[in-house]
Amino acid sequence: MKKETKKRGLTRLIEIAGTKKWWLLGSMTLAVLASIAQFVPYLAIFNIVKELGLNINTPELINKADIWFWGKVSLWAIVAFGVLTFTSLILSHIAAFNILYELRMMISKKMPKLPLGFFTVSSSGQLKKVMSEDVERIELFVAHNIPDLTTAFVFPLLVIGYLFTIDWRLALVLLAVIIIAVAFQSSMYLNKNAIASQYKYHEILGKLNASIIEYVRGMQVIKIFNRSAGAFKKLKENILRYRDYVIKVTEFYALPYLGFYNTLSAVLLILIPASILFLIKAPSYTGYLPTVLMFLLLGGGIFFPFLKLMWMTNLLMQNSMGIGLIDNILKQEEIKETENPKMPKDSSIEFKDVSFAYKNNEVLKNITFIAAPGTLTALVGPSGAGKSTIAMLTARFWDIKKGEIKIGGVNIKDIPFSKLMDNISFVFQDNMLFFDTIEENIRMGNKTASKEDVVNAAKAAHCHEFIVNLDKGYDTLVGEGGTYLSGGEAQRVALARVILKNSPILLLDEATAYADPENEGKILKSFSSLIKEKTVIVIAHRLSTITGADQILVVDGGKIKEQGTHEELLLAGGLYKNMWETYSQTRDWRIK
């Protein structure tokens, strides 16, 4: 089987451009022609100086027609260079805007097809960096730097090629200097450490962006609860990590860069002695002098195209890393839709010998249980035991490799994903409220719901009272740019969304975690009516809230260690009893 070659850099950009690649290729072609036009005046200077040098003692033999010819050719070449460069930039901008569109559309179309688990392990800051900063950087590179990169590559080739035709000996001297400089440059970009450092840089920058977004968005809550020092600690750690890594990378590149820069800077120090040597030995001093002047003019000036080429190569490598990060999203395994869809018969949930590992880290081991329709199953256990993973797998956050998960007697892989989501509602501790009105945030649970339905759901979730006390009531904007709600308020709005959706299955992660004792009781009462005829899985931290559960699963180390009702588990005298006794003692603590 032939191994598939991974495309990177320009080849990947051309592939992404699709049918619009001709704009990009056209821009590069015009940039090549612009490089030729840019070189023509130097050619004209050489021929004019050569004509004058050969006839310096016999002015009457100077071919004035040739001089006028090269003068006009040079003038037209300068005009052509301007037109070709401008047109190349126009085409590169058109290509850039198309690539920008294609990339964002590819990512946007990919996102809904990804498993929900992808978004639990990828921070919003990292995804924002990819969709915004990396895509924008690629657009800027294509629009402005593709023509420059092409010119920076083609012009030195024209120079070296032409210089070989007028004196191969001096051309070899110049080429030797260039090879040494390029060797230094290649050591910066082509070794594995350099490539790995670029990926590491993007990873660290993504985490820094995520921590900045988290810090800024949470500033109101941070100030209210006087958590500035603790909240800033994480941001400071990421800032210091970024600073230390950038310094490390700079030190890594310092020696090769100095070698590249100083070698090219010294090209005249090498060319001048060599030129004098060949000039002395030349049969005709005046005949060879134009050759020397051409080498000093073009050879000495080759520093700037190569310096530009180095910067363009650096930008190309950075954008290759950005394309790689985008491709990492695009290559993520999608939720596979079944070819033979089946509908669940009821709202029962069954885990049958389920094991799950994430990145080679085994999280769950042989989980087996059944949650009958209309029953409440509570998951309790230490932090990191696997409780949240069980809830997430129920909603197919990830696909399992071993075992089977069924809803209503049907494997969840055989249920169309949209239908699966219709049957399940979530209330977790971290609830996302979109930048929209409170009414629309609640209505996300049921887009066809009336205003009356929204209000009734809010009343059931005990958030109607604080909503109507806001300046604009249900029309109040929440999220970035609007009003920020407390954790408890946001959770009750999310609960109202769930109530409005009215799904047969509820997944709850301590839905009363942020509620005060008074509202906790009200919310629990609303739950008692909400969960009738529904299957509920609740991750409980306050054990007092799940004493009436139909079954309690004690999860520890990725396994179900105990299973039964509250009374049965207390009688068994195991881990749950110890947890209950500890919880009861802490609940009775008083500040004296």
Tell whether 237 is covered by a domain: yes
Same domain assignment for residues 477 and 552: no
> What rounded mean pLDDT belongs to the chain?
81
Are 414 and 338 in contact by the 8 Å Cβ rule? The answer is: yes
What whole-number distance in Å separates Cα of residue 291 and Cα of residue 237? 60
Residue 348 maps to which CATH number?
3.40.50.300
Residue that finishes a domain, picked among 308, 330, 352? 330
Structure tokens at 458: 């809010």
| Whether 495 and 530 share a structural domain | no
Residues 401, 450, single domain; the answer is no
Are 172 and 295 within one domain?
Answer: yes
Question: Same domain for 266 and 249?
Answer: yes
CATH for 316: 1.20.1560.10
288 and 360 within one domain: no
* 4 in any annotated domain: no
Quote the CA–CA distance of 509 and 507 in Å, as a whole number: 7
Query: Is the residue at 2 inside a domain?
Result: no
**Is the model's pLDDT at 56 over the cut of 90?**
no
Residue 554, SS3?
strand
Domain of residue 487, residue span: 431-502
Q: How many structural domains is the chain composed of? A: 3
Please indicate, yes or no, if residue 335 is contained in any of the structural domains: no
Check whether 531 has a pLDDT greater than 80. Answer: no
Is 512 found in the same domain as 468? Answer: no
Three-state DSSP at 1 gives coil
The yes-or-no verdict on residue 3 having pLDDT over 50 is no
DSSP string, 58-69: -GGG--HHHHHH
Same domain, 53 and 130: yes
pTM exceeds 0.85 for this model: no
Q: Which range among 145-149, 225-229, 373-377, 579-583 shows the weakest confidence by mean pLDDT? A: 225-229
Whether residue 1 is contained in a domain is answered as no
Whether 94 and 24 share a structural domain: yes
Q: At a CB cut-off of 8 Å and minimum separation 6, what does 519 contact?
A: 462, 488, 492, 512
Residue 528 has pLDDT above 70, yes or no: no
Question: Is residue 544, in this structure, part of any structural domain at all?
Answer: yes
CA distance 488 to 386: 25
On whether both 416 and 284 belong to a single domain, the answer is no
Q: Are 97 and 173 found together in one domain?
A: yes
335/463 Cα distance (integer angstroms): 35
Give first-to-last CA distance, the chain, whole Å: 75
Q: pLDDT of 268-312, one tens digit each?
A: 888 889 888 888 888 777 778 888 888 888 887 788 888 887 777
pLDDT, residue 113, reads: 77
Angle between helices 192-217 and 303-330 (to 10 degrees): 60
- Does residue 509 share a domain with residue 496? no
Report if residue 116 sits inside a domain: yes
Which of the listed residues 502, 531, 562 is the one where a domain comes to its end?
502
